[in-house]
Structure 1
Amino acid sequence: MKAFAALFTAIDQSTKTTIKVNALSDYFQEADDIDKLWTIALFSGRRPKRAVTTTKLREWGAEVAGVPLWLFEECYPIVGDLAETIALVLPPNQTTDNRSLSQWITDLREVYKADDEAKKAFVLDAWARLGGTERFIFNKLITGGMRVGVSQKLMTRALARATMRDESELAHRLMGNWHPDDTTWHALIEAEDASADASRPYPFYLAYAIEGGPDALETPEDWRAEWKWDGIRGQLILRGGEHFVWSRGEELMTDRFPELARAVDYLPDGTVLDGELLVWHAGEEYPASFNTLQPRIGRKTVPKKLLTDAPVVLHAYDLIEWQGADIRHLPFAERRAMLEQACKDLAPEAPVKLSPQLPFKTPADLHAYRDRARGAHAEGLMLKRADSPYLAGRKKGDWWKWKLAPLTIDAVMIYAQAGSGRRANLFTDYTFAVRDGDALVPFTKAYSGLTDKEFRQITTWVRKNTLQRFGPVRQVTPHHVFEIAFEGIQASPRHKSGVALRFPRMLRWRHDKPLSEANTLDDLNEMLRIFG
């Protein structure tokens, strides 16, 4: 645990990439294999289950610290993190335990099955044996909230340095649903056949937003354009007579889209497609809106009616494995030609469609396409250099996204709540309303889009203009108007306003607008009629 704590401290206390990479690389060269494996797992979101409820931890923390529970509860929202709050209120002591990270995780998983009395004894003993960063990390592990500022890209860079292996190969090895319970450091990182897992996806290639539009692109003939579809980015993998569907967030979604199983009847084994999962009704020119797809996203099993009402296809726009060979190194134009050849004889009922390219000669043509994007239920355009390989992660230069301007509406802040983490002392989470006659109807929440300076200004104002308190939420005087940006709107019977927004955020604080000039519920319903 001490070595992992030292690594955590080095990463947590620096914003410099080189320092983080060096710390990780040194750790991967020196730590035991099982600790290295669990470190990768923890840093990539594969955390142990929460062994103890947060309620019990708060009670036990207050008891050991010798403070009333109410005082502990007052401290918690100020600190913004339960693990850190416990570490701060407990009496300080030095670490006297030499168990490794993996041994602590094993013990935590064993206590998961125990009764509350045994859990309490285990936790209190751990707090007595651990101090400083080690105690904080133990608290993180037991709450299941281990989050560290390490990206997948940074971790693979450090692994490449420590193991002298290719970074892109390591990025591929770390994809998928592996877990320390079912693999080893050697099998995951070192074994020559590590990529033999039939279900393993490739790291996704991500685009940057283009600044100023495509007018600055040189030599238009070197670029390809296509719709940026408004669906779920995914990879469809056909290997060993089976199919697998992965989201961009490395979530295996095969069971959620059973209609894609038929892809094995239309495409050869050893095929991996990159594309967009979309609801597409037979005979329609364009896919259905994202709102139609949304009911499918959280369903582990899909009833027959939903399969009929919202049939999903993969709209393929790239081919990254063909006949069992990784072809990511080939130029995009060549991969696209192979994709077109693979899809040319697909039957209309096939669950895979070829995503069209948009021919253009000038930037003006691209502007015209973008103006039509919302009508095509697309988010905008993708621009890809014809000679670009399929890389891993977000790279600048070869792939660009040119999204539509968001929808906006002016709304009034009526509730405020403190944030968490470094924003625990600021009111950053707001509820907004639109006018309906003399009433204000809440319709969305937002917590991003403003500067730290603006958050501090609003926090000062909230403390002076609180009307009522409801736990951590404060009702404030209706006064400030904000421009709320969002990507989509849909009807929602669960909300008092009757609508729900997609990706709402604060675009700007409208100091120039009084309450009387905020938008109305009628305005919101008109947007629902046009864009819903």
Structure 2
Amino acid sequence: MKRFAALFNTIDQSTRTNVKVAALADYFSDATDADRLWTIALFSGRRPRRAVTTTRLREWAAEEADIPLWLFEDSYAIVGDLAETIALVLPPNPSSDNRSLTHWITELRGLAEVAEPQRKAFVLAAWAALGGTERFLFNKLITGGFRVGISQKLMTRALARATGMPETELAHRLMGNWHPDDTTWHALIEAADASADASRPYPFYLAYGLEDGPESLGDPDHWRAEWKWDGIRGQLILRDGDYYVWSRGEELMTDRFPELARTIDHLPPGTVLDGELLVWLPGSDTPASFNALQARIGRKTVPKKLLAEAPVVLHAYDLLEWQGEDIRHHPFATRRALLEEACADLPADAPLRLSPQIPFGSWADLATHRAAARDAQAEGLMLKRADSPYLAGRKKGDWWKWKLDPLTIDAVMIYAQSGSGRRANLFTDFTFAVWNGNDLVPFTKAYSGLTDAEFRQITAWVRKNTLERFGPVRKVTPHHVFEIAFEGIQPSPRHKSGVALRFPRMKRWRQDKPLQEANTLDDLNEMLRQYG
């Protein structure tokens, strides 16, 4: 655990990528196989389940620190992180414990099988044995809240340096539904055939946003354009007579989209498609809004009624594997031609469609198509260089997303709540309202878009202008107007305003605009009629 804590400190205290890569590479070179495997798992979101309820941990920590529970709760509200609060309130002690990361994870996972008095005794003994960062990390593990800002790209760079293996191969090995319980360091990283798992997806190729138009990209003849759909990006994998559906966030979603099982009848084994999962009603020329897809998100099983009301198709726009061969290194134009050939004889009721390309002769011509994106239920355009391979991760140069400008509305801040982590001492989460006659009606929340300096400024104002407190939430004097940007709007009976926004964020703080000039509920409803 000491070695893992030292690695965590180096990563947490540095903003330099090279420092983080070097620290990880050194760790992967020296640690035991079990600790290396668990470190990759933890840094990629594969956390142990919570072993003890947070209620009990708060009670035990307050008792051990000899402070009343209300004082612990107030401290927690200020710190914003339970693991850190516990580490801070407990009596300090130097750590003399040399047991490994794997040992502590194994012990924690065994707590589910013992009675509460034994759980408490174990936790108190661990707090007494561990100090400093080790204690903090133990708390993170026991609460099931371990998160570290390590991207897969950074992880694969470090592994490549430690093992001498290519980054692209390592990125593929780390994909899929693996867990330390069902694999080993050797099987995951070193074994000759790491692609034996039929369900394993490929790392997704991610595009950068195009801010100033495509003219700087050169000759338009070298580029291909298609709609940027507003759905869920996923890979459909057909191997060994079965099918698998993966989200861009590396979540296996097969059970949520049973209609895609019929693709086995139309495409050969050894096919991997990249595309967009969309609700597409029979007879419609465009997909349904993202709001229709939300009913399918988060469900492990889908009832027949919902399957009929919100049928999902995969709009395929790239072919990554064909007849069992990885073809990502081929130019996009070649992959696209193979994809068109594969989809040429699909029946009309197949849960798979070929995402159309948009013909254009000039950048101005393409801009005209982009302006009609919302009519097609799209967010904008994707631009892909015809000769580009399918790479792993976010690369600049060959793929670009040219999104529509967001919708905006001016709203009044009426509630504020503290953030978490490094922003636990700042008010960063706000509720906004629009006018309905003489009343302010709340309609959305937002927590991103301001600079740290602006958050500090608004925090000072909130502390002086609080009208009421509701736990961590403060009702404030209506005064400040913010421009709220969002990607879409849909009806919502759960909200008092009757609408819900997609991806709301603060675009700017309108300190130049008086309270009375904020938008109205009628303005929102007009947007709903136009874009909903």
SS class of match (1:383): strand
* Alpha-carbon distance between aligned partners in 2 of 1:258 and 1:307, rounded to the nearest angstrom: 9
SS class of match (2:5): helix
In structure 2, the partner of 1:455 is: 455
SS class of match (1:67): coil
In structure 1, the partner of 2:392 is: 392
SS class of match (2:493): coil
Q: Tell which deviates more after alignment, 90-99 or 256-265.
A: 90-99
* Alpha-carbon distance between aligned partners in 2 of 1:369 and 1:406, rounded to the nearest angstrom: 17
Paired residue type of 1:23? A
Tell me if structure 2 keeps the 8 A contact 1:176–1:250. yes
Paired residue type of 2:228? K
Residue 303 of structure 1, CA deviation: 1.2
Aligned residues: 532
Paired residue type of 1:296? R
In structure 2, the partner of 1:198 is: 198
Residue 77 of structure 1, CA deviation: 2.0
In structure 2, the partner of 1:2 is: 2
What TM-score comes out, normalization by structure 1 length? 0.99
Tell me if structure 2 keeps the 8 A contact 1:207–1:401. yes
**Once the two structures are superposed, what CA deviation does each residue of 1:323-365 show, in whole Å capped at 9, x if it has no partner?**
0000000010111111111111111111111101111111111
Residue 115 of structure 1, CA deviation: 2.1
Residue 4 of structure 1, CA deviation: 0.7
Residue 509 of structure 1, CA deviation: 0.8
SS class of match (2:235): strand
Tell me if structure 2 keeps the 8 A contact 1:214–1:366. no
SS class of match (2:460): helix
Tell me if structure 2 keeps the 8 A contact 1:489–1:499. yes
- Asked if residue 43 in structure 1 is aligned to residue 37 in structure 2, the reply is no
In structure 1, the partner of 2:283 is: 283
Paired residue type of 2:452? D
- Asked if residue 161 in structure 1 is aligned to residue 166 in structure 2, the reply is no
- Asked if residue 377 in structure 1 is aligned to residue 362 in structure 2, the reply is no
* Alpha-carbon distance between aligned partners in 2 of 1:160 and 1:41, rounded to the nearest angstrom: 17
**Once the two structures are superposed, what CA deviation does each residue of 1:385-436 show, in whole Å capped at 9, x if it has no partner?**
1111000000000000000111111111000111111111111110011111
In structure 2, the partner of 1:526 is: 526
Paired residue type of 1:430? F
What TM-score comes out, normalization by structure 2 length? 0.99
In structure 1, the partner of 2:428 is: 428
* Alpha-carbon distance between aligned partners in 1 of 2:20 and 2:513, rounded to the nearest angstrom: 45
**Once the two structures are superposed, what CA deviation does each residue of 1:220-267 show, in whole Å capped at 9, x if it has no partner?**
111100000010000000000000000000011111011100000000
Residue 113 of structure 1, CA deviation: 2.3
* Alpha-carbon distance between aligned partners in 2 of 1:516 and 1:5, rounded to the nearest angstrom: 53
SS class of match (2:139): helix
Unaligned runs of 5+ in 2: none
* Alpha-carbon distance between aligned partners in 2 of 1:298 and 1:147, rounded to the nearest angstrom: 21
In structure 2, the partner of 1:437 is: 437
* Alpha-carbon distance between aligned partners in 1 of 2:285 and 2:227, rounded to the nearest angstrom: 13
SS class of match (1:196): coil
Residue 112 of structure 1, CA deviation: 2.2
In structure 2, the partner of 1:349 is: 349
In structure 2, the partner of 1:264 is: 264
Unaligned runs of 5+ in 1: none
In structure 2, the partner of 1:127 is: 127
**Once the two structures are superposed, what CA deviation does each residue of 1:62-121 show, in whole Å capped at 9, x if it has no partner?**
111122211111111222211111111111111122211111100000012222211110
In structure 1, the partner of 2:181 is: 181
Tell me if structure 2 keeps the 8 A contact 1:491–1:498. yes
Residue 211 of structure 1, CA deviation: 2.1
Give me the identity figure in percent: 79
In structure 2, the partner of 1:54 is: 54
Residue 10 of structure 1, CA deviation: 1.1
The 5-angstrom pairing of residues 278-427 of structure 1 reads 278-427=278-427
In structure 1, the partner of 2:95 is: 95
Paired residue type of 1:418? S
- Asked if residue 240 in structure 1 is aligned to residue 240 in structure 2, the reply is yes
